[in-house]
Amino acid sequence: MSLLFSPLTVRGVTVRNRLWVAPMCQYSAVDGVPQEWHHTHLAQFASGGAGLVVAEATAVSPEGRISLEDTGLWTDEQRDAWGPIVAAIRDRGARAGVQLAHAGRKASTWSPFSGEHGSVPAAAGGWTTVAPSAIAFEGYDVPQELDAAGIDEVVADFAAAARRAVDAGFEVLEIHAAHGYLVHQFLSPLANRRTDEYGGSLENRARLLLRIVDAVRAAAPDVPVFVRLSATDWADDGWDVAQTVQVARWAADHGADLFDVSSGGLVAHQRIETGPGYQVEFAARVRNEAGVAVSAVGMIDDAVQAEAILAAGEADAVSSAREWLRDPHFALRASVELGDEIAYWPAQYLRARRRTPARAA
């Protein structure tokens, strides 16, 4: 058995393999309520052999949405709509997770399908965004700086969303602290210019994240809690890997179980050097220097590549996004490529498990 198809247990939840589906925004919800599209989209990955399927960045409050079409968990109606989707994932043998998110200054934007760019005006349903400081993301409206009461409300919103997620059946909760959204904005000195207890030193800039970890852990004491971190801003004087390592240590002390290591998204002038597995080195540093469990993500689209990452001790699991969109049965294909005999091929697909040798001419 390859490492990729060996199980991984996190806080009592055993995931059948280490090839996971990263959260991918679909911009297809109505008033935060997931639709039939989300059901089909997410359940197919479980049929395709994924170990863990993490649903998209799901807003903890209306003003936390990236766009008007984002999913949410701030109402019971949304919770109830997630229930059958989660059941479909679990019925197919995968674990179901959800990414809890607040977009901060990158909220109230047009969906990528609209043809528009920038902030949505109030007349079209947009709203005033919030952030650690009144500094706009390039090309977006200037946000309102959160006061102490606003910060407390954000923490409470994450806790309430966590409770609804567990009630809907989700088995893993991921706190989105990456990609330039609200928690990342507090972490990075490029977006956080506060002079109170939430700004300045690393300890202060990490305070919101640690409060959210505490709140989510209290709301879901037995559920694995992941944290998605951008390991670097890819910009001068910004957030970097050394700070990520330290904050991962602190978050683990507060009850976080695993760190989903990505990068970028905070500023438009970032300079990203991409390539196959280009973020794996960041995951490896967090794993080895912070002594925590991590998943690696970023252009991991090949079974041999994924297995090599695990074999090298660079991550405990690997997550992919676009490869799952290209092939919703990525894990089934990977098991054949690695020669693994896994027991969870759907009976309806068994005839495809072994390739038929080509006939001689």
Q: Tell me the CA distances in angstroms from 263 to 82, 114, 357, one per residue in order.
A: 28, 26, 43
Contacts of 103 (CB under 8 A, 6+ apart): 57, 59, 64, 65, 66, 70, 109, 129, 181, 182
Residue 207 three-state SS: helix
Contacts of 312 (CB under 8 A, 6+ apart): 284
Identify the CA nearest to 88 among candidates 22, 41, 56, 31. Answer: 41
Q: At what angle do helices 76-91 and 148-168 cross, to 10 degrees?
A: 40
Q: Active-site residue 181, yes or no?
A: yes
| CA distance linking residue 224 with residue 216, whole number of Å | 10
Token pair for 177: 């602290």
Q: From the candidates 27, 140, 181, 198, which is the catalytic residue?
A: 181
Q: Is the dihedral of CA 78, 31, 182, 322 positive or negative?
A: positive
Catalytic residues: 181
